Amino acid sequence: MNIQEEKAEVIKRFKEVRDLSLIRAVKNLLDFGLSKQRSEDEALEASIDKGLKESSLGKVIPHEQVMKEIRARYKA
């Protein structure tokens, strides 16, 4: 099942729920999960922005050098 099918199934089943405590618990779980997801998205975006800025300033290491260091470290 893909993510859209999973969401549709959850929504379908959730519409049948009549227990207010369960509804509130699911709502709290969604609030927590979405907040965590937003924080992770913001951290990823900040990391990408930092990398792009460093790249534009010429603060980069050539791929060949990185691979050489990795091979030496892990004897790959």
pTM to 2 decimal places: 0.59
Q: Could you tell me how far CA 35 lies from the centroid of its own chain?
A: 11
Task: Please tell me the distance from the alpha carbon of residue 10 to that of residue 17, in angstroms, as a whole number.
Answer: 11
> What's the pLDDT tens digit per position in 58-68?
999 999 999 99
- Give 74's contacts (C-beta < 8 A, 6+ positions apart): none
The answer to whether residues 41 and 33 touch, using CB atoms and an 8 Å cutoff, is: no
pLDDT of 15 higher than 70: yes
Q: According to the model, what pLDDT value does residue 75 have?
A: 83
> What's the pLDDT tens digit per position in 16-53?
999 999 999 999 999 999 999 999 999 999 999 999 99
Question: If we measure between CA atoms, which residue out of 23, 20, 28 comes closest to residue 11?
Answer: 23
Number of domains in the chain: 1
The answer to whether residues 76 and 70 touch, using CB atoms and an 8 Å cutoff, is: yes
Helix (H) or strand (E) holding 14: helix 3-14
